[in-house]
Amino acid sequence: GENVEQHPSTLSVQEGDSAVIKCTYSDSASNYFPWYKQELGKGPQLIIDIRSNVGEKKDQRIAVTLNKTAKHFSLHITETQPEDSAVYFCAASISSGSARQLTFGSGTQLTVLP
């Protein structure tokens, strides 16, 4: 099955700096890569996603890049703010029937220091 590795497990940055979280996946059949943000006491929330036919996608301060050859993808957050502090999960997806089955990375605790 699919295996997703995520690094780093913890990341501290100064407010205004950039943060980068990296993930690698094992199954070349994976074709959909979402990123989730989980705030304390809440369920994960989708923040951005990318499909395998695209190399980069941007949404305001958040961007995701995908390198299919190397099987890795990254989340970039620019101009970080204290409210960006949360746990971030990457995921890779293989379709099973009509269900898109997600395999998650182990998560990155991002702390933005004021």
Partner 1 sequence: DVKVTQSSRYLVKRTGEKVFLECVQDMDHENMFWYRQDPGLGLRLIYFSYDVKMKEKGDIPEGYSVSREKKERFSLILESASTNQTSMYLCASSPAGSSAFFGQGTRLTVV
Residue with token string 């989708």: 46
Interface with partner 1 (CB under 8 A), residue total: 29
Closest listed residue to residue 24, CA positions, set 88, 87, 74, 99: 74
Q: Where in 47-106 is the site for partner 1 (CB under 8 A)?
A: 49, 89, 93, 95-106
Q: What angle do CA 64, 67, 71 make, to 5 degrees?
A: 110
Residue 40 binding partner 1, by CB under 8 A = no
Nearer to partner 1 (CB atom), residue 97 or residue 114:
97
Q: Give the count of alpha carbons within 13 A of 3, CB side only.
A: 2
CB of 15: closest distance to partner 1 in angstroms?
A: 26
Nearer to partner 1 (CB atom), residue 18 or residue 26:
26
Among 9, 12, 18, 81, binds partner 1 (CB under 8 A): 9
Q: From the CB of residue 77, how many other CB atoms can be counted at a distance below 10 Å?
A: 24
Residue with token string 């295996």: 3
Closest listed residue to residue 90, CA positions, set 76, 78, 70: 76
CB of 36: closest distance to partner 1 in angstroms?
A: 8
- What does DSSP assign to residue 55? S
Among 6, 30, 80, 85, binds partner 1 (CB under 8 A): 6
User: Which positions touch partner 1 (CB under 8 A)?
Assistant: 1, 4, 6, 9, 32, 34, 36, 41-46, 49, 89, 93, 95-107
